[in-house]
Amino acid sequence: MISWWCTALARPWTWEWIPYPGIWAASILPMFLYGRAVHRHEGEPDRRKFSQFIAGMLFFWVASDWPLGTLGAGYLASAHMTQFLLYTLVAAPLILLGIPEWMARSLTQRLHVERGVIWFGRSLVATAVTYNAILLSTHAPGTVEVLRNSQLGSFAMDVVWMIAGFLLWLPVISPLPEGRASSPWAAMAYLFVTTSVVAVIPASFLTFTSTPIYGIYELAPRIGSMTALEDQQLAGIIMKIATIPIVWSTIAVLWFRWSAREAQTA
């Protein structure tokens, strides 16, 4: 049987390559369609945006495919957490940065989601609540146990994580200018609160609990000498630390841009 998406495997881990054609299609097809659309509309693409979109899709590929995707699906909680952060903090914002306004407007209008995208970009409290609800629910032990044991469930989790990443960054870098936070200060405060307040709860719980909470990772064949509890604690540490350089770098950029505009108008 051919596996089209990563799922938990009931066998010891080996470094034997596993092909996932569904992941290849989900990674390559958007790049092909993007390139064709840009060529038809612009002729010569904006190299910066083109590079950002391709980079975002490549990070999506790395997070989804073997070996990280396989490890995260059924072997290591730390790999599971790394996937989540790659989707939400790296792949999603790069893809958003790479989408030109005309493409975003055309796509959202065809899918009848333009008003929703703009609303989420402007409604900071609702977006923060939605993002953190996804964060908490997809890291709950019951959710992980159910979804990671099937290809469809694992696919659904990865898709939801990408959606969460898009929601997180819409108020800051939405391709639709009217769908962003009303001011740089609002965007900075939103980004800090959304990624730093609620996320402390699961991160601290994973780091300081004395027993493994994920049965799927506790019962999985061990990889190396790391125990299930150590793996879980590493997942909590990754969740705590990995957001800091990306989020604070973004906040710094927003602040410097605001400061430069204020200096010009002074």
Inter-residue long-range contacts of 188-192, CB under 8 Å, 24+ positions, other chains counted: 188/251, 188/254, 188/255, 190/124, 190/127, 190/128, 191/247, 191/250, 191/251, 192/247, 192/251
pTM, to two decimals: 0.94
pLDDT classification of 266: cutoffs 50, 70, 90: low
Q: What percent of the chain has pLDDT over 90?
A: 86
Inter-residue long-range contacts of 156-161, CB under 8 Å, 24+ positions, other chains counted: 158/5, 158/63, 158/64, 158/69, 158/83, 158/87, 160/134, 161/83, 161/84, 161/87, 161/88, 161/134
pLDDT digits (tens, 9 = 90+) for 67-120: 999 999 999 999 999 999 999 999 999 999 999 999 999 999 999 999 999 999
Any idea which of 126-135, 141-150, 201-210 has the lowest mean pLDDT?
A: 201-210
243, 196 in Cβ contact below 8 A?
yes
Say how far apart CA 245 and CA 230 lie, in whole Å.
Answer: 24
Please identify which residue in the block is written with the tokens 């969740």: 239
The mean of the pLDDT values for the chain is 94
pLDDT for the residue 1: 56
Please identify which residue in the block is written with the tokens 């032990």: 141
| pLDDT for residue 263 is more than 90 | no
Say how far apart CA 101 and CA 154 lie, in whole Å.
Answer: 31
pLDDT classification of 64: cutoffs 50, 70, 90: very high
pLDDT digits (tens, 9 = 90+) for 1-33: 578 999 999 899 999 999 999 999 999 999 999
For the chain, domain boundaries? 21-265
Say how far apart CA 261 and CA 266 lie, in whole Å.
Answer: 9
Taking the CA atoms of the chain, what radius of gyration do you get in angstroms? 19
